[in-house]
Amino acid sequence: MLDELIRKTIREMVGGGGPPVAFLTPSGDRGLFGPESIAWKVHADFISMMIGGISSLIMQALHPQALAGVWDHSSFREDLKGRLGRTAFFIAATTYGSTEMADKVIERVNQIHAKISGFDEFGKPYSATDPHLLSWVHLTETHSFMQSFEDYRKEKLSPQEKDQYFLEMKSLGERMGAHSLPSTYAKTGSAIQGYIPELYFGERAKSILDLLENFPSKLAAKPFIKLITRAGYLNLPDWVYPFIKRPTPNLIERLAVKKSVDLIAVPIREALKDGVAAHSLRRVYG
């Protein structure tokens, strides 16, 4: 009963459906990466992916042109759960889905991006197909996911495995239209800092933070969402805090949040152990 309650709460939170049976076919299809990839390992953990997803959304909101695309052409302000659900499905489909599933979702997103353009809050033109903006989204997502995995999973990755993850993700990012992506953890962090002169924390970005801090949810899910959101803030690079006019978290706060996340992660991981990754393993190996 506890497992089903957890699954129901998570589906309500991100707008997901039932068991991921679409990932069971076709038999033997390894998808874009395969079970031995680091992407399969990192993306399998719902807790750290949620935390990394929140921190990447905060960072992406700091780029006026990247934010303008979703501001002008997305319903995320009225349907945040739907937005998160679509993002979660894209990651699941491209990581664990069959080759056909991954190809189709990449093509669909690229077609949507081709129709998105306009002017940001400073009147500067933008296009969702701009490789520079696509790289910003890719860099912040992959770096946030890896940082969160490192902090909230006891299973540690070697430096070589961490770099392998960014090499794998580079291939996906380039299929989405990004150019010249770094293929190591260190170079990804450096590339992110190269964008700092372009970032801006204005009213639009502030509204995104307010939306995340007041995530629409049922009463029973609010404590979990508050904790995961706080962990998302703690997952940000240190240079971001003064930029968004927030105090840099101290060690005691970081330890308290980590202990709390570790505590709730046990039943959640147990409840989700037969999720997308497990279904995809059955597809590959039978």
pLDDT by 10s per residue, the chain, length 286: 555 556 666 655 555 555 689 999 999 999 999 999 999 999 999 999 999 999 999 999 999 999 999 888 876 766 666 677 788 899 999 999 999 999 999 999 999 999 999 999 999 999 999 999 999 999 999 999 999 999 999 888 999 999 999 999 999 999 999 999 999 999 999 999 999 999 999 999 999 999 888 876 676 677 888 899 999 999 999 999 999 999 999 999 999 999 999 998 888 888 888 889 999 999 999 8
The answer to whether 109 and 176 are in contact (CB under 8 A) is yes
* First and final C-alpha spacing in the chain: 28
The CB density around residue 20, as the number of other CB atoms within 10 Å, is: 20
Helix locations, the chain, DSSP H: 2-14, 38-43, 46-60, 64-73, 80-96, 99-113, 131-152, 159-175, 185-193, 203-213, 222-234, 240-243, 251-271, 276-285
Q: DSSP readout, 252-272?
A: HHHHHHHHHHHHHHHHHHHHT
- Predicted TM-score of the model (pTM): 0.92
pLDDT value at position 10? Answer: 63
Residue 96 to residue 75: CA distance in whole angstroms: 27
The CB density around residue 13, as the number of other CB atoms within 10 Å, is: 21
